[in-house]
Amino acid sequence: MEEGSCRLQRKDSFILIGLSVRAQSRDYQIFIDSGLRFQLAELLDSSIEKLVIVTDEHVKKYYLDDCLHELKSSFPVNVYVIPPGEQSKSMEQYKSLQQFLLNQRITRKSAILALGGGVVGDLAGFAAATFARGIGFIQMPTTILAHDSSIGGKVAVNLDGKKNIIGSFYPPHQVIFDLEMFQTLNEQEIRSGLAEMVKHGLIADQKLYDSLLSSIKVDFDLSSNDFKHLLVQSIQVKNKIVEKDEKETGIRKFLNFGHSFGHALEAAHMNSRTHGECVMLGMIFALWLSNEKFNHLKGFSFQRLMDWVKQMDYPLQLDDVTSAELLNNMKFDKKNTQDELQLVLLKQIGSPCLQNINVYTMESYLNEFITKWNQGEFNWLK
């Protein structure tokens, strides 16, 4: 495969996306199909000497036994289980996992398989990146949201309420999506993942955006070929950006669309709203800012997006947060300084741009948006 290429091909029953990341990184494959947990031994590198599955208590109940049954005759397997939720992305949990790897005599010829959502992937990936200066790392996402976080190599833990403040770039050696695992997601987790797919459509792919809004309903079959193809399109958006800018010095920053506001809201509502639910509100704010304050997005239908957002039952209340609280959280975002914030805006769908905004101006924008939102002054919100 040519360096930097991303293509689809058939391999038996799998849809295989081949990804070649530039710079110091490695090439790795992405498998997407239903039932892949029953074919893990076939998919994994047979030279792995020991395998450590990192998962959470929720995923363990549904899928760990299937994976162990498939793997036990091919690899020595150990299991490390964490509590579900963002609180497990901590230095304490990271240290505990490192101690576990040490106790199990894990070496550079071993690998971690992250069986779970974004929290599991981030924690396991950061541990894999730093233990013995790097061991094998396989992502097996069990949430739609993790289709984004499992690709591209960002791994991190939180500290003192600051998201992903301690981390690294460490691409996985493989990513394996078993679409059947999406069947046990609750509606909140589904909404969270779909928000990142909508983000990919808005920043890079009008057809993906249109397809998501026209075809995804509350009762949509997440194991269907239609959803598989939408997921592939969303992954391709991420792939193409990561191939060109692995370390986020340029266009990879566009993937932060909606995340400055979203992360700030998430910090204010830790554990009550999901990442994607907060990012959805962050994207709406960024779209409004693009249109209202920077004269972009001519002809964009806010009403169409809001009709879909309300149909999918995204939480929309902002009466429990202040502009000052959001601004304070935004200042601590890694992309920003105490005096100036950098936001991703849209000129049009598929045409993102970076905009630096003074903190005092941003406070005014936030206050105006939240006030009008809470008072129902946006016609497209009614």
Q: What residue numbers does the annotated binding site for Zn(2+) cover?
A: 196, 259, 275
Q: Measured between alpha carbons, how far is 71 from 93 in angstroms, rounded to an integer?
A: 25
Annotated binding site for NAD(+): 118-122, 142-143, 154, 163
Annotated binding site: 118-122, 142-143, 154, 163, 196, 259, 275
Per the CB < 8 A criterion, the answer to whether 276 and 192 are in contact is: yes
Per the CB < 8 A criterion, the answer to whether 113 and 81 are in contact is: no
Please give the DSSP secondary-structure letter assigned to residue 87: G
Phi, psi of 174 (to 5 degrees): -160, 150
Using alpha carbons only, what angle is made at residue 369 by residues 375 and 264, rounded to the nearest 5 degrees?
120
- Please give the helix or strand (H or E) that residue 251 lies within, else none: none
Q: Measured between alpha carbons, how far is 217 from 311 in angstroms, rounded to an integer?
A: 8
SS3 content of the chain, % helix, strand, coil (to 5): 50, 20, 30
DSSP notation for 265-313: HHHHTTTTS-HHHHHHHHHHHHHHHHHHTT---TT--HHHHHHHHHHTT
